[in-house]
Structure 1
Amino acid sequence: MPPPTPWLTSSGGKARDEGVNYYRRSTSQASCSARRSLKTNLCKWCDSTAPACEEKVCYSNCNLNSYCEDPYEICVAIWRQDNESIRISTLCHNPQRPIENLMVPNYNTSRCVMSHQPSEDGIIYICGCVDEQECNDKLIFENHTNGYSMLQSKEVIPVAAISLLPPLLVAVMITVIFYLCRTQKRRKRAKAWAGKQGQPPALLEQGKATEREEKLSVLMDESPAGTSAGRRPAELLPIELDEMVGKGQFAEVWRAKLSRSHSGQYETVAVKIFPCEEYSSWKNESQIFTDSSLRHDSVLQFLTAEDRGAGPRREYWLITAYHSRGNLKDYLSRHVLSWMDLQKMAGSLVSGVAHLHSDYTACGRPKIPIAHRDIKSTNVLVKNEQECVLCDFGIAIRLDPSLTVDDFANSGQASMSCQPSLEEPFAATPTSRG
């Protein structure tokens, strides 16, 4: 008969109880170890990876993970950007200790919110998180701006600049060419207009530039006796006086015909005629008119100045554009303006005064300001239903900075002596027409 089995005996029963207790203790220890492992964080753990970004969030792109050894360790992600390259490091770390001389900020959260850290080795962001598995995989940047988008913007800016440079250069070249063409065209028109207004057609066809300049110039001699024949235009304009439209104390204003060709075509102009003894008045007004910077749409158009005849019958002419509607005073006495027409007419008048007083022309060229000193309705001509022009610069003065106070005072006294007498009924008419 075989011997009895040990655990069936009393001593065997005791051994069985000890084995059961050992199994229970081992199971309990394993359970405790498992419970401790559940309290640690499961984190992404890679030394260096390239991030993958989608819109406003980036991912570490790390395929490895690990449980942290200690329950107080957290998941950490470090973003490094240097020389236009980005690398991500993920690991477990004790937040009470520095990592690469940096402390992990704001780690008591389940979201890995990146925080910028000052560094001399490029751009560094760092974040920490707990209580969620692999929470350092999803990298969130504040203000919806991440390093990847910053890198992309740095790459896009030079590419965009290089792409836009050729169109910008072409646009600048087109603008410069257009400006030069417009300027050249204006100069040609100005020369053609000057020749057309100041010369007979026969002289234009012959192309006598010297005679044209002499014809458009104004004789600026100190006295009538000092005006030599050599200073006169080579040929006077072919003007035929038609009708006197006004007479004042110092001058008469005539409507005249300026012949344009041998076929009998003509242009209507206004001629303000000064007698020989009023040479100084003619000279003062012609000096104002011959200033090229005076030209403006709201200033009476000046054609030329001439002296005609000899001896006591010598006369001095100012030839200007003719406006059949007359001066503003007479026009308003015959017409009722609408509010819109009144605004436009007043605007043109203000524009002319502003041009006189300005230190620069409309093109930006410096000019000497001019004070009209006699603006009134009889010295404003109606150009059309919505425009006016200033005329009668008999007492106007150029505000030249080189002049002294005495010069201004003497100029004013000399000019005032040329004003028409208020006792004569036609005193204002020539100034308004001329």
Structure 2
Amino acid sequence: MKIIDPVFLLVFILNVYTVKSLECLCGISEVPVTDPYNIQKLEKDNCEIPENEKKGCVEHGACYGTCQTDGFCFKSIKREDGIIRRIYRCLAKSVLKPEGQPMHCHVHDGVTSSFQLGCCNTTLCDLPLTFSPPTKDSGDQDRLILILSISVPIVTLTLVSLISILIYKQCQPRFGYQVVSRPIQNNVIIDLGNSRSISSQMVDDSQSTLKEMLESTCSGSGAGLPILVQRSIARQVSLLECVGKGRYGEVWKGMWRGGYVAVKIFSSRDEKSWFRESEIYQTVMLRHENILGFIASDNKDEGIMTQLWLVTEFYENGSLYDYLSRHTVSEEQCIRMALSIATGLAHLHMDIIGTQGKPGIAHRDLKSRNILVKRDLSCAIADLGLCVKHNSVTDEVDIPINNKVGTKRYMAPELLNETINEKHFDSWKRADVYSVGLVYWEIVRRCRASSLHQEYQMPFYDVVSPDPSIEEMKEVVCIKRLRPDCPDEWNENEKLKSMVKLMKECWFENPTSRLAILRLKKNCVQILDSCEDVKKMSQILEEQEQEEEENKLMNSDSGLVKS
């Protein structure tokens, strides 16, 4: 049998008696406020009953039980509904946190008029707690809490009701207004619950086509269709196929009123970009044959998310980037493309003063992917989401509030090194001209007149990575001052030589040395006129040669007859 060490036993007994050495009052009592010695309730649950009952008696006449603790004695008093409630109990040392100022022993100043508590560390101690007189601030606070408790639920319910009504109206089809002059017959109702589904329409001869509707509702102001039509167009368009993807979303080919349309679908997180581009496209007097035709903007609820639609004209050839990747162009086509781009940008930059005037607009993201090729191979400028507008009255520049920047490969030197004067509108126009020079280089590279037939490449393809950073472009454009290479073969052709001169005058490092957009347009016209003159001269020479051959034949025939 193992014998217990007497020293260990002595230490254990001392620890037991020293750990719980404080005796405290224990129990709960209730007395009326008007008669503090009339004890109506006294509870001693979970308390020890001392042999001498008077041991636990206190000043107000109640006799409580006791308890042992290694921490503090606790007391609280509370006044409520004309009753004063006292609570005595023990607090263990383990719950007294933080040390030195335990939160169980302190009360907030705002409630001391009806509630008090405290701690003490003497045997059977009874703290003399009293209520503090009520203050004006506490009354004001109570009234504020009451007002908030009533008003907040009412305001919340009102907001929820308004939002529900708006969502209901948004999701329901709109009726009760005439949108075209001709009646619509044999129209198939399109359900776009699944945006990937392909629907169809039967178009009757009496139904307004897309072209007719645009001509009857768009007066050239550039504002697109009437607002009532715009707010329901997402339920009338049939999506056919996805034709492109970008950083803002997807571009779909759609069918609407017997014609093809392009639908640019933004995600809800890009709402600022969608709103800005819709705002720019609806600028008065913006509509131009070399700027993408705007039809409508709308939003469509897809259940888990909201799609933001931008509906525009559709061009089968796609972007200039896509077209040049698949096709080459002749001399005349090359110059006509360059002229149409300069014409569209000149209209975009132009301030039109008047009661229905147009502000000057700079694109800020010109590149071959943001220029579309029409059926006649002329070009139209698209993607106006990053544009800046110029207020000619106040001479202020309206810059969109978003974190998007233009395509780094096409950025002008002053944008890369951040030396551009953002408050000066001409600075933004000159940055656009720099980008146009790079686009011209892409077109000339695919011109069939060049003896060196080259595959399509983007500017700086040979000196930067496929997705260059701003620092990478800054080193190439600003520090090394490199520009796209122009082969000597281009200078052997007079038309291409003129185009090379144009593009080099567009990408000067000093913005003020670059061609103005109107000067650029005029030079393109002159190059095209020279092409027409050469064409006419060649036709005249061909006609003269044909006449000479006919005369020779006639002379030979007459000689045979004489013989």
TM-score, length-normalised on structure 1? Answer: 0.40
RCO higher in structure (CA 8 A, sep ≥6): 1
TM-score, length-normalised on structure 2? Answer: 0.32
